[in-house]
């Protein structure tokens, strides 16, 4: 954390003539060395996700001259060592903007931190959009209304304050050459935010199937959804990019439908997400979604074979910058996975703390029997759903001296989180070994980015599986029995 750095991922041809320097700088009071400040910036051609170097007095500066060649949406986020959010700030940056940000970090209170933020400098107007509430909180529970009323609400009421604020901010600097482009971007953001709200919020919470919801898409301005999604111009909208990134999840939940011809192909031969992207999207949109799916797949796998499989799809992308970035990611991920692949011994001392006794131990101390380690947290919904299934596993193998089950609490050491975790352990009668990940040693070593996550070690402390199937998987007992039968 102390050796923070900036990596600019790509330099693109100039689309807007720049006469000055595009940059983001500022100072955050009460900044600590184990905090992490991250800038995520995206537009139709650039994807930047970088850690920002911050001095001991909280000062930082980012040169964006060669990155921001068109109006771009950015997120500046601050987190502590446990990845708890301390600040989440929307920023709007265009060529020649020079934003200066100051604020006072209130540890454990992101709302108060955000209230302290002041944005100055050239281009400051738009980045002030969400610093203050857009209006009074609506006391009506619109999600309980019928579907037609909710659509009318989205079209006529939900965005009134947003429209007024955007119009006011855009008028503050009428000399800004990016104003026309910003108006187009905000219009698209509004359209796709409404679409996302309707499908992922209203339809999901009211269990409305796609057969019914698609009837109302025309009223929301989407009479021909898939043709409209395939417009390259949409990529300048952050709301659009977010929507297409979730497109497969929405279909999995039954909230949207693919074109009929795609289902015919799926019924004939099951298609991977990458193949689905090829069927559903065209042009620059295809490149964008395909890059996203490949990147997420690579980051979430702990299997070298899966990385190799995903790498084969990179050649489908026409955007050279995307391809180069993915190839570098493949190389980094392979190096990471090679360190923790099955058959390797643990190469570092990984300290853990017993939640009940407060005793400290290491993975080395667990040798002597096979160990099933499940990472979890008190705030993690999917983790808590696994508890009954893990209890059944513990009960099933209670008389087997060759295996132990251990829960490892990860990103879960805040005072309130510890109290919640102890309550869950008691209420759920989690009577197997309960450990805590000290300073994120365990999750860092096994490159765990999402929980629950399961690791199996053999009796000699050798890695057997660095990403085991969950206790809820119907095949878990057969899998463990197979491992136990091997010498």
Q: How do residues 208-235 score in pLDDT, each as one tens digit? A: 999 999 999 999 999 999 999 999 999 9
CB contact set of 206 (below 8 Å; sequence gap of 6+): 143, 147
Mean pLDDT of 87-103: 93
This prediction has a pTM of 0.80
Q: Where are the domains of the chain?
A: 23-127, 137-170+177-228, 258-339, 351-485
What does the pLDDT read at residue 416? 72
Reduce the secondary structure of the chain to three states and give it as a string: CCCCCCCCCCCCCCCCCCCCCCEEEEEEECCCCCCEEEEEEECCCCEEEEECCCCCCCEEEEECCCCCCCCEEEEEEEECCCCCEEEEEEEEECCCCEEEEEEECCCCCHHHHHHCCEEEEECHHHHCCCCCCCCCCCCCCHHHCCHHHHHHHHHHCCCHHHHHHHHHHHHHCCCCCCHHHHHHHHHHHHHHHHHHHHHHHHHHHCCCCHHHHHHHCHHHCCCCHHHHHCCHHHHHCHHHHHHHHCHHHHHHCCCCCCCHHHHHHHHHCCCCHHHHHHHHCCHHHHHHHHHHHHHHHHHHCCCHHHHHHHHCCHHHCCCHHHHHHHHHHHHHHHHHHHHCCCCCECCCCCEEEECCCCCEEEHHHHCCCEEEEEEECCCCHHHHHHHHHHHHHHHHCCCCCCEEEEEEECCCCCHHHHHHHHHHHHHCCCCCEEEEEHHHHHHHHCCCCCCCEEEEECCCCEEEEEEECCCCCCCHHHHHHHHHHCC
Structure tokens at 393: 């596993």
Q: Which residue has the higher pLDDT, 174 or 79?
A: 79
Whether residue 301 has a cis bond before it, omega within 30° of 0? no
- Is the pLDDT at 120 greater than 80? The verdict is yes
Estimate to the nearest angstrom the gap between the alpha carbon of 140 and the chain centroid: 30
Q: Is the pLDDT of residue 2 over 70?
A: no
Q: What per-residue confidence (pLDDT) applies to 430?
A: 94
CATH fold for domain 351-485: Glutaredoxin (3.40.30)
How far is it, in rounded angstroms, from Cα 132 to Cα 119?
Answer: 12
Q: Is the pLDDT of residue 173 over 80?
A: no
Comparing 107-111, 311-315, 451-455, the range with the smallest average pLDDT is: 107-111
Residue 475 in tokens: 């095949």
Please state, in angstroms and rounded to a whole number, the distance separating the CA atoms of residues 315 and 319. 10
Task: Please give the average per-residue pLDDT across 15-21, as a whole number.
Answer: 48
User: What would the mean pLDDT of 63-77 be, rounded to a whole number?
Assistant: 90
Q: How confident is the model at residue 135 (pLDDT cuts 50, 70, 90)?
A: low
Q: What's the token pair of residue 144?
A: 């309980």
- Mean pLDDT rounded to a whole number for the chain: 88
**Which pLDDT does position 335 carry in this prediction?**
92
Per-residue confidence band for 67, with pLDDT thresholds at 50, 70 and 90: confident
pLDDT at 345 over 70: yes
At 44 the pLDDT is 66
**Model confidence band, residue 3 (pLDDT cutoffs 50, 70, 90):** very low
Q: Strands 36-42 and 47-51, how do they pair?
A: antiparallel
More confident: 378 or 17? 378
Segment 397-422, tens digit of pLDDT? 999 999 999 999 988 777 678 888 99
pLDDT at 241 over 90: yes
Share of the chain above pLDDT 70, in %: 94
d(CA 214, CA 203): 10
The per-residue pLDDT for range 431-486, each reduced to its tens digit, is 999 999 988 889 989 988 889 999 999 999 999 999 999 999 999 999 999 999 98
Enter the CATH code of domain 23-127. 2.60.40
Residue whose pair of structure tokens reads 């601050």 in the numeric block:
78
Contact 206, 165 (CB under 8 A): no
Tens digit of pLDDT for each residue in 279-300? Answer: 999 999 999 999 999 999 998 8
Closest CA to 413 of 345, 479, 353, 332: 353
Distances (CA, A) of 308 to 270, 314, 322: 20, 10, 17
Q: Tell me what pLDDT residue 438 has.
A: 83
pLDDT of amino acid 152: 96
Distance CA 316, CA 274 (A): 10
Return the pLDDT at 487.
63
Q: ∠139-140-142 over CA atoms, to 5°?
A: 140
Whether 150 has a pLDDT exceeding 50, the answer reads: yes
Structure tokens at 22: 């595009």
- Could you tell me the two tokens for 28? 């955050």
Which pLDDT score is estimated for 6? 29
The string of pLDDT tens digits covering residues 371-387 is 999 999 998 889 999 99
> Is residue 14 very low, low, confident or very high in pLDDT (cuts 50, 70, 90)?
very low
C-beta separation of 313 from 398 below 8 A: no
């Amino acid at each position: 954390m102390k050796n923070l750095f900036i990596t600019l991922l790509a330099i693109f041809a100039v689309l807007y003539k720049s006469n000055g320097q595009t940059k983001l700088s500022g100072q955050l009071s009460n900044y600590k060395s184990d905090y992490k400040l991250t800038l995520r910036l995206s537009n139709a051609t650039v994807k930047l996700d970088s850690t920002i170097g911050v001095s001991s007095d909280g000062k930082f500066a980012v040169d964006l001259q060669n990155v921001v060649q068109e109006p771009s949406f950015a997120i500046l986020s601050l987190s502590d060592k446990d990845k708890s959010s301390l600040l989440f700030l929307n920023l709007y940056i265009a060529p020649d903007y020079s934003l200066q940000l100051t604020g006072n970090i209130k540890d454990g209170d992101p709302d108060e931190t955000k209230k302290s933020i002041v944005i100055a400098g050239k281009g400051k107007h738009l980045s002030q959009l969400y610093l203050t509430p857009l209006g009074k909180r609506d006391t009506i529970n619109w999600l309980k209304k019928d579907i037609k009323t909710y659509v009318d609400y989205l079209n006529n009421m939900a965005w009134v304050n947003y429209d007024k604020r955007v119009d006011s901010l855009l008028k503050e600097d009428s000399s800004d050459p990016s104003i026309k482009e910003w108006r187009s971007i905000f219009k698209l953001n509004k359209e796709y935010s409404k679409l996302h709200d309707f499908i992922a919020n209203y339809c999901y919470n009211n269990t409305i199937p796609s057969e019914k919801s698609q009837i109302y898409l025309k009223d929301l301005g989407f009479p021909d959804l898939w043709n409209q999604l395939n417009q390259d111009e949409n990529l300048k909208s952050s709301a659009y990019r977010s929507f297409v990134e979730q497109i497969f999840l929405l279909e999995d939940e039954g909230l949207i439908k693919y074109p009929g011809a795609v289902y015919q192909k799926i019924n004939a031969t099951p298609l991977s997400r990458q193949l689905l992207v090829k069927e559903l999207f065209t042009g620059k949109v295809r490149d964008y979604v395909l890059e996203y799916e490949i990147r997420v797949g690579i980051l979430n796998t702990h299997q070298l074979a899966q990385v190799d499989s995903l790498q084969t799809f990179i050649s489908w992308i026409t955007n050279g910058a995307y391809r180069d970035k993915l190839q570098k990611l493949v190389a980094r991920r392979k190096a990471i996975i090679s360190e923790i692949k099955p058959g390797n011994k643990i190469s570092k001392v990984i300290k853990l703390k017993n939640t009940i006794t407060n005793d400290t131990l290491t993975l080395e101390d667990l040798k002597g029997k096979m160990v099933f380690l499940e990472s979890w947290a008190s705030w993690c919904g999917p983790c808590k759903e696994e508890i009954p299934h893990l209890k059944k596993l513990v009960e099933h193998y209670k008389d087997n001296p060759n295996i132990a089950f251990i829960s490892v609490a990860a990103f879960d050491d805040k005072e309130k989180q510890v109290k919640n975790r102890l309550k869950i352990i008691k209420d759920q009668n989690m009577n197997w070994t309960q450990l805590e990940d000290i300073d994120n040693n365990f999750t860092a070593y096994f490159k765990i980015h999402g929980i629950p996550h399961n690791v199996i070690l053999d009796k000699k402390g050798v890695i057997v599986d660095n990403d085991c199937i969950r206790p809820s998987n119907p095949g878990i007992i057969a899998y463990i029995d197979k491992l136990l039968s091997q010498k």
